[in-house]
A and B are shown apart, each in its own frame.
Chain A
Amino acid sequence: MYAAATSVALVGGEARPVRVEAHVGRQSEAFKLSGLPDTAVREAKDRVRAAVASAGIRFPNRTVTVNLAPADLPKGGTDYDLPIALGILAASREIPPLRDAVVVGELALDGAVRAGSHAFGAGVLSARQHVPCLVATAVVGEAASIPGATAYGVASLADAVDLLRGGLGTVEPARPDTPTSEERAPDLADIRGQPMARRALEVAAAGGHHLLMHGPPGSGKTMLARRIIGILPPLEIADAVETAMLWAAAGRRRGLVVSPPFRAPHHTASKAALVGGGSGNPVPGEVSLAHRGVLFLDELAEFPRSHLDTLRQPLEEGVVSVARRGSSLDFPASFQLLAATNPCPCGYLGDGRRPCDCRPAILGRYRSRISGPLVDRFDLIVRVGRVEATDYSGPKGETSASVARRVEEARAAQLARGQINRYLEADDGRESKAARRLVAMAVGNAVLTARGGDRVRRVARTIADLEGAHQVEEHHMAEAVGLRGEWRDE
Chain B
Amino acid sequence: MNDPRVIAPNEPDYPVGLHDLEEPPALYVLGVTTTAPAVAVVGTRKCTRYGLNLAEAFGHALSRAGWTTVSGLAKGIDAAAHRGTLQGQGRAVAVLGSGVDVVYPVENTDLYRSILRSGGAMVSEYPPGTRPDRWRFPARNRIIAGISSAVVVVEAGVKGGALITARLAAEMGRPVLVVPGDVDRAASVGCNLLIRDGAHPVLGVDDLLAELELILGKPPNQTLPAASNIPATGLAIDDLPSIWGCTPAEALARLARMEIAGEARRVGDVVIPGSG
* Residues on A facing B (Cβ under 8 Å): 193-196, 198-199, 215-216, 343-344, 349-352, 355-360, 363, 383, 385-386, 438, 441-442, 445, 447, 463, 475, 478-483, 485-486
Binding-face segment, B32-40, B92-100, B224-232, B255-263: B255-263
Complex Cα spacing A274 to B108, Å: 41
Binding-face segment, B109-117, B163-171, B206-214, B266-274: B266-274
Q: Is the CB of A199 within 8 A of B248?
A: yes
A195 to chain B, nearest CB (A): 4
Q: Is the CB of B253 within 8 A of A479?
A: yes
Can you list 7 residue pairs at the A/B interface with Cβ under 8 Å? A193-B238, A363-B49, A442-B260, A475-B253, A478-B253, A481-B256, A482-B253
Q: Is the CB of B49 within 8 A of A199?
A: no
What are the residues of chain A within 8 A of B253 when measuring CB–CB? Answer: 475, 478-479, 481-482
Q: Is the CB of A479 within 8 A of B256?
A: yes
Q: Which residue on B lies nearest to A195, using beta carbons? A: B248
Q: Is the CB of B268 within 8 A of A482?
A: no
Complex Cα spacing A483 to B268, Å: 14
Q: Is the CB of A344 within 8 A of B49?
A: yes
What are the residues of chain A within 8 A of B135 when measuring CB–CB? Answer: none
Q: Is the CB of B268 within 8 A of A343?
A: yes
What are the residues of chain B within 8 A of A193 when measuring CB–CB? Answer: 238
Q: Is the CB of B248 within 8 A of A360?
A: no
Complex Cα spacing A355 to B50, Å: 5
Q: Is the CB of B268 within 8 A of A383?
A: yes
Q: Is the CB of B241 within 8 A of A386?
A: no
Complex Cα spacing A341 to B254, Å: 26
Q: Does B194 have its Cβ within 8 Å of any Cβ on chain A?
A: no
Q: Does B234 have its Cβ within 8 Å of any Cβ on chain A?
A: yes
Contacts known (A195-B241, A481-B260); A350 close to B254, Cβ less than 8 A: no
Q: Is the CB of B249 within 8 A of A356?
A: no
The 8 Å CB contact of B257, one of A215, A351, A352, A478, is: A478
The 8 Å CB contact of A360, one of B52, B236, B241, B256, is: B52
Q: Is the CB of A356 within 8 A of B49?
A: yes
| Best-surrounded residue of B50, B248, B256 (most CB of chain A within 10 A) | B256
What are the residues of chain B within 8 A of A478 when measuring CB–CB? Answer: 252-254, 256-257
Q: Is the CB of A385 within 8 A of B49?
A: no
Q: Is the CB of B248 within 8 A of A357?
A: no
Complex Cα spacing A486 to B252, Å: 13
The 8 Å CB contact of A352, one of B234, B250, B254, is: B234
Complex Cα spacing A385 to B266, Å: 12
Q: Which residue on B lies nearest to A448, using beta carbons? A: B260
Q: Is the CB of B50 within 8 A of A357?
A: yes
B160 to chain A, nearest CB (A): 16
Complex Cα spacing A350 to B268, Å: 4
Q: Is the CB of B269 within 8 A of A351?
A: yes
A188 to chain B, nearest CB (A): 14
What are the residues of chain A within 8 A of B266 when measuring CB–CB? Answer: 383, 485-486
Complex Cα spacing A386 to B267, Å: 13
A323 to chain B, nearest CB (A): 42
6 nearest A-B pairs in the assembled complex, by CB-CB distance: A350-B268, A355-B50, A482-B252, A478-B253, A356-B49, A481-B256
Q: Does B76 have its Cβ within 8 Å of any Cβ on chain A?
A: yes
Q: Which residue on A lies nearest to B49, using beta carbons? A: A356
What are the residues of chain A within 8 A of B270 when measuring CB–CB? Answer: 350, 352
What are the residues of chain B within 8 A of A344 when measuring CB–CB? Answer: 49
What are the residues of chain B within 8 A of A479 when measuring CB–CB? Answer: 249-250, 252-253, 256
Q: Does B48 have its Cβ within 8 Å of any Cβ on chain A?
A: yes
B228 to chain A, nearest CB (A): 15
A355 to chain B, nearest CB (A): 3
Additional pairs, 18, CB under 8 Å, beyond known A193-B238, A196-B251, A486-B266? A194-B238, A195-B248, A216-B269, A343-B268, A349-B49, A350-B53, A351-B269, A352-B236, A352-B268, A356-B49, A363-B49, A383-B266, A385-B236, A385-B269, A386-B269, A479-B253, A481-B259, A482-B252
Q: Is the CB of B256 within 8 A of A445?
A: no
What are the residues of chain A within 8 A of B254 when measuring CB–CB? Answer: 478, 482
What are the residues of chain A within 8 A of B249 when measuring CB–CB? Answer: 199, 463, 479
A287 to chain B, nearest CB (A): 30
Contacts known (A355-B49, A360-B76, A385-B237); A199 close to B268, Cβ less than 8 A: no
A135 to chain B, nearest CB (A): 49
Complex Cα spacing A360 to B45, Å: 10
What are the residues of chain B within 8 A of A483 when measuring CB–CB? Answer: 252
Provide the B63-95 mask, 1 if CB < 8 A to any CB of A, else 0.
000000000000010000000000000000000
Complex Cα spacing A480 to B256, Å: 8
A276 to chain B, nearest CB (A): 37
What are the residues of chain B within 8 A of A383 when measuring CB–CB? Answer: 237, 266, 268-269
| Best-surrounded residue of B48, B237, B240, B253 (most CB of chain A within 10 A) | B253
Contacts known (A195-B238, A196-B238, A198-B248); A442 close to B256, Cβ less than 8 A: yes
Complex Cα spacing A343 to B269, Å: 11
| Best-surrounded residue of B50, B53, B260 (most CB of chain A within 10 A) | B260
Q: Which residue on A lies nearest to B241, using beta carbons? A: A195
Q: Which residue on B lies nearest to A475, using beta carbons? A: B253
| Best-surrounded residue of B76, B251, B252, B269 (most CB of chain A within 10 A) | B252
Complex Cα spacing A385 to B248, Å: 14
Q: Which residue on A lies nearest to B75, using beta carbons? A: A360
What are the residues of chain A within 8 A of B238 when measuring CB–CB? Answer: 193-196, 385
Q: Is the CB of B262 within 8 A of A199?
A: no
B246 to chain A, nearest CB (A): 10
What are the residues of chain A within 8 A of B47 when measuring CB–CB? Answer: 360
What are the residues of chain B within 8 A of A363 when measuring CB–CB? Answer: 49
B220 to chain A, nearest CB (A): 30
| Best-surrounded residue of B76, B250, B259 (most CB of chain A within 10 A) | B259
Complex Cα spacing A358 to B47, Å: 9
Complex Cα spacing A188 to B49, Å: 34
B152 to chain A, nearest CB (A): 17
Q: Which residue on A lies nearest to B269, using beta carbons? A: A385
Provide the B38-59 mask, 1 if CB < 8 A to any CB of A, else 0.
0000000001111011000000
Complex Cα spacing A313 to B50, Å: 39
